[in-house]
């Protein structure tokens, strides 16, 4: 048993072209580490150089935003779905 991590379309090329990956984990942090250990090329698109989740990358357990739960310590149970959803941000130079 494991949690299902849904891979957003733009990142599937770095995860064996899969829509989702099953990972054994007890927290969101473990699930994402398991995912990026398995698919190392994903890491730079999810995490910045200082090892923090990029500011525009949002993670949900089922429908709950982990920022409003226990962040990467948010517990996950077998059968949970972890979703990675970007905010789209940008803009011209100052």
Residue ranges in contact with another protein by CB under 8 A: 8-11, 13, 41, 44-45, 54-56, 58, 65, 85-94
Whose Cβ is closer to another protein: residue 51's or residue 90's? 90
| Contact between 16 and 39 (Cβ < 8 Å) | yes
5, with CB counted inside 10 A (0-12, 13-18, 19+), is buried
Whose Cβ is closer to another protein: residue 24's or residue 48's? 48
Whose Cβ is closer to another protein: residue 1's or residue 89's? 89
Q: Which of 53, 49, 54 is nearest to 74 (CA)?
A: 53
Return d(Cα 16, Cα 20) in angstroms, integer: 10
Q: How far is the CB of 64 from another protein (least distance, A)?
A: 12
Q: How far is the CB of 28 from another protein (least distance, A)?
A: 15
């Amino acid at each position: 048993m494991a949690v299902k991590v849904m891979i957003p379309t733009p990142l599937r090329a770095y995860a064996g072209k899969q829509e989702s990956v099953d990972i054994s984990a007890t927290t969101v942090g473990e699930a994402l580490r398991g995912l990026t250990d398995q698919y190392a090329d994903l890491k730079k698109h999810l995490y910045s150089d200082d090892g923090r989740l990029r500011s525009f990358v949002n993670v949900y357990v089922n429908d709950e935003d982990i920022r409003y739960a226990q962040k990467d310590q948010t517990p996950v149970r077998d059968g949970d779905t972890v979703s990675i959803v970007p905010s789209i941000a940008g803009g011209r130079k100052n």
